[in-house]
Amino acid sequence: HLIPYITLSILSFSKDAIGEVIVGPNASSHNCASSVTMLLKSADFNDVNVRTSKIPFKSW
């Protein structure tokens, strides 16, 4: 699978630039949410709400 992305240096953002991150449906969404939370906290984005999508994951 190819996943398009752009590289961003989150350290250059204002601490209120990110209010919430929603982790899309996948087989291990709670692990992904934990990883995102750790990344954000390591960059001092402590007040960002990280949650998982309510859309169910369906594997093909």
pTM value?
A: 0.74
Q: Number of folded domains in the chain?
A: 1
Which pLDDT value is given to residue 20?
Answer: 95
Q: Is the pLDDT of residue 1 over 70?
A: no
The residue with greater pLDDT, 9 or 41, is 41
Answer yes or no: is 49 within a domain: yes
Domain containing residue 24: 19-59
- Asked if residues 56 and 27 have their Cβ atoms less than 8 Å apart, the reply is no
Answer yes or no: is 2 within a domain: no
pLDDT tens figures, 16-56: 888 999 999 988 999 999 999 999 998 889 999 999 999 98
Residue 5 CA to residue 8 CA, distance in Å, equals: 9
Residue 23 CA to residue 33 CA, distance in Å, equals: 6
pLDDT grade, residue 58 (50/70/90)?
confident
Answer yes or no: is 3 within a domain: no
Answer yes or no: is 9 within a domain: no
Which pLDDT value is given to residue 14?
Answer: 83
